[in-house]
Amino acid sequence: MFRNPFLKTHHAIIAVTTLGSLICRAEEVSPPTVDSGHTAWILVATALVLFMTMPGLALFYGGLVRGKNLLSVMAQCAGIAFMASLLWVAGLYSLAFKGDGGWIGNLDAAFLQGITPDTIAPGTKLPETLFVMFQMTFAIITPGLYVGAVVERMKFGAIMMFSALWLAVVYTPVTHWVWGGGWMQDMGVKDLAGGIVVHATAGVSALVLAIILGKRQGFPEHPHPPHNPGMVFVGAAMLWVGWFGFNAGSQLSAGGNAGMTMLVTHLSACAAALVWCLLERLRNGKAGLVGMVTGLVAGLATITPASGDVGPMGAVAIGSLASVVCYFSVSLIREKLHIDDSLDVFAVHGVGGILGTLLLAFFGQTSLGGLGAVKSASVQFGIQATGVGVTVLWSAVATVVIALLVKATIGLRVRKDQEFDGMDRSEHGENAYPMEP
């Protein structure tokens, strides 16, 4: 029997087309799956961010204070880490990342109800349990930053109570605005890893809290030099390494974007450290180690919001500008205004985070080596400035209210004799170093 070869070919084409259609439909309806490569990287990034607080931040701040207050700083960093972790799971994660409200989420996932090992975090290829943990590390380190503004004089109980309320009233809403589907995200605010969410909130609150708390005894007439610059360096080095998880991990995937973010983070830090070193050399005739690593941290804080949108040369420019602006901010706050932000939290983290958030609008442009994922410079700058302005105002007002509430209930500051003796002994009954009985 004669068979038409064209008919056979026609049937084959129909079969292939039908099969392709079925495959496409299967892909459309198939649920998202975990990507093992992305998951492996974010597991590492999560550990790196926690490493930033304990031991990184604890050693960095601990070396900057006097020896009689070393343990108190470490205890505050540790206490905040323990408490923030439990509060995050109890309801703050849900308020930050669940629901579609413009200003705050809901409690659908309070105590992580409905989240199982098989649950995928929306918009990712990660287990939601891992996403919860990754975001938890940010909630841990953010209140840890303003500890540096109140060292050597704020009660341990007061810092714990203040931080619990601050996480609920300041950090969680701002996180929802920027990262959780809130109004800033809808408006187009760009903040990869926390220029607004972490550094602006903590930096502004640090400045306000330092003003309310008052100066340390002897400030500014008598200096309070770091008791262990070597410890400061070790802590800063740990922050530097951990920051790769902080920024590159915020891409929530392993690939080219994470690689570029890691690269620009490193370059900004290096440029800022060298420029700070040069400024100290020109001004004081010497380049101090503590100043060098302070510049390093300023470069890291400033590149944080822009690290997903700028290229290598933009990162060098941002790091250099960060060092200059933050260096003179330290002088302004400490030497001119005589505000005892003890470890320069606002001048380094607050000013740096705000500066990087604004510079993103310019260095994110392809004409300046950026990746081009931003609107025109003028439009994006207006969006960024709006986000910064609202966050600064919200953080400042909320900090005043929370601080006054804590002051009226359990008090903010240790007694003068306790401050003189050192908080290690008066607050914790321990000494970091052998002392006279």
β partners of residue 154: 413
Q: How far apart are CA 355 and CA 317, in angstroms?
A: 12
β partners of residue 127: 120
pLDDT at 435: 67
Contact 364, 371 (CB under 8 A): yes
Q: How far apart are CA 71 and CA 163, in angstroms?
A: 19
- The answer to whether residue 27 scores a pLDDT higher than 50 is no
Quote the pTM value.
0.91
For 87, residues 6+ apart whose C-beta sits below 8 A from its C-beta are 139, 164, 167, 168
Mean pLDDT computed over 99-127: 96
Structural domains in the chain? 36-428 (1.10.3430.10)
Mean pLDDT computed over 198-202: 98
Contact 330, 220 (CB under 8 A): no
Mean pLDDT computed over 26-48: 85
What is the DSSP code string of 1-61? ----HHHHHHHHHHHHHHHHHHHHHHHHHSPP---HHHHHHHHHHHHHHHHIIIIIIHHHH
pLDDT at 82: 98
- The answer to whether residue 41 scores a pLDDT higher than 70 is yes
pLDDT at 29: 52
Q: Which region among 25-29, 93-97, 274-278, 299-303 has the lowest average model confidence (pLDDT)? A: 25-29
Q: Mean pLDDT in the chain? A: 93
pLDDT at 93: 98
Say how many CA atoms lie within 13 Å of 310 toward its Cβ: 33
- The answer to whether residue 263 scores a pLDDT higher than 60 is yes
β partners of residue 413: 154
For 120, residues 6+ apart whose C-beta sits below 8 A from its C-beta are 31, 32, 33, 34, 126, 127, 128
Mean pLDDT computed over 388-397: 98
Chain segment 62-111, per-residue pLDDT in tens = 999 999 999 999 999 999 999 999 999 999 999 999 999 999 999 999 99
Q: How far apart are CA 366 and CA 269, in angstroms?
A: 22
Closest residue by Cα to residue 333 from 239, 203, 171: 203
- The answer to whether residue 2 scores a pLDDT higher than 80 is no
- The answer to whether residue 15 scores a pLDDT higher than 60 is no
Chain segment 396-431, per-residue pLDDT in tens = 999 999 999 999 999 999 999 999 999 999 999 999
Chain segment 323-382, per-residue pLDDT in tens = 999 999 999 999 999 999 999 999 999 999 999 999 999 999 999 999 999 999 999 999
Residue 294's Cα: distance from chain center in Å?
Answer: 16
